[in-house]
Amino acid sequence: MQKLRVFESISVDGYFTDARGDMAWAHAGQQDPEFADWVGGNASSGGSLLFGRKTYQLMEAYWPTPLAMQQMPVVAQGMNEATKYVASRTIQPTWRNTQLLRGDLVEAVRDLKASDGLGIVVLGSGSVAAQLGAAGLVDEYQLVIVPVALGGGRTVFTHATKLRLVDQRTFRCGNVVVTYAAA
């Protein structure tokens, strides 16, 4: 059985988007070489990726481009080579190694988890992460806490969730990566 991990950048007050739906604040720390190296290593860890439609379209527009290969070659290679799943009823994916999840999201992910593999990471895709968390399917949350308070927005936690700290790491840029197991 595969583990399902949610990887999300959040503000110190717990939001993955601000009140307007903007996520530009989440890119803080990209100039920190240590954080950039960690991101590259994390992106190369194998397994498959799961996206909601909005996040998928953002990723599909950037990672297969020459600019992505120039700016972040290790991450771009990992993103482009990974098996990707997208939860959408409205798009037809064009990014290589991408499969459309059909039918009920929770049931489709239950089936994916039951299959063989190196694990599945929900990358961004806050509403998908929230649905899967509410269904009890998330095994681990890896959160990049960005040192900004948004004062409002959308959270990945739409229900009470007990978590157990597994790991933590602080970077010079102020970002803190915490990994929690679902308890």
Q: Is the dihedral of CA 60, 64, 66, 72 positive or negative?
A: positive
Q: How far apart (Å, rounded) are the C-alpha atoms in residues 134 and 117? A: 23
pLDDT digits (tens, 9 = 90+) for 122-174: 998 888 999 999 999 999 999 999 999 999 999 999 888 999 999 999 999 99
Q: How far apart (Å, rounded) are the C-alpha atoms in residues 142 and 122? A: 10
Residues 125, 51 contacting (CB under 8 angstroms): yes
CATH number at residue 99: 3.40.430.10
| Domains: count for the chain | 1
List the domain range (segments joined by +) for residue 26. Answer: 4-182
Residues 8, 15 contacting (CB under 8 angstroms): no
pLDDT digits (tens, 9 = 90+) for 110-119: 999 999 999 9
146 closest CA partner among 174, 179, 180, 178: 174
For residue 44, pLDDT over 90 is answered with no
SS3 161: coil
134 closest CA partner among 109, 169, 99, 111: 109
Amino acid letter, 85: Y
Q: What is the pLDDT of residue 166?
A: 97
Q: How many other CB atoms are there within 10 angstroms of residue 11's CB atom?
A: 21
pLDDT digits (tens, 9 = 90+) for 56-82: 999 999 999 999 999 889 889 989 999
For residue 46, pLDDT over 80 is answered with no
- pTM for the model stands at 0.91
